[in-house]
């Protein structure tokens, strides 16, 4: 018997650092939306946000995707394999 689609599963928090006009940011945002993943979006062009990302994750160039304690950065194609692994339902 498969679990109900509305069953409560603990999901890690997700934060997406983006910048306006960034195609890879849009691709990560679309991926998260398509997979029903709730996320907080932070714009690195807002005062202090890029510095916050640099201090926390060592980079300040979007997109930066933070899932739980793991931070991913780089092009969407580079992030996608880890996104798939981190966001797949646990068996």
Encode the chain (91 residues) as per-residue pLDDT tens digits. Answer: 434 444 445 677 999 999 999 999 999 999 999 999 999 999 999 999 999 999 999 999 999 999 999 999 999 999 999 999 999 876 4
**Could you tell me if residue 1 is inside a domain?**
no
Find the domain containing 53 and state its range.
14-87
H or E element at residue 52: helix 49-57
CA dist., res. 10 & res. 41, Å (int) = 20
Structural domains in the chain (count): 1
Tokens representing 63?
Answer: 């997109």
The pLDDT score that the predictor gives to residue 9 is: 52
Would 21 be classed as within a structural domain?
Answer: yes
Asked whether residue 37 is assigned to any structural domain, the reply reads yes
Residue 5 lies in a domain: no
Strands 40-43 and 64-67: unpaired
**Radius of gyration of the chain, Cα coordinates, nearest whole angstrom:** 14
CATH of the domain at 63: 3.40.30.10
């Amino acid at each position: 018997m498969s679990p109900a689609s509305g069953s409560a599963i603990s999901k890690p928090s997700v934060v997406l650092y983006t910048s306006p006009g960034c195609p890879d940011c849009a691709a990560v945002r679309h991926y998260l939306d398509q997979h029903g993943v709730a996320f907080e979006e932070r714009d690195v062009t807002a005062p202090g946000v890029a510095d916050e990302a640099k201090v926390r994750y060592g980079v300040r160039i979007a997109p930066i995707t933070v899932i739980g304690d793991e931070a991913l950065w780089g092009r969407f194609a580079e992030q996608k394999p880890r996104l798939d692994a981190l966001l797949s339902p646990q068996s």
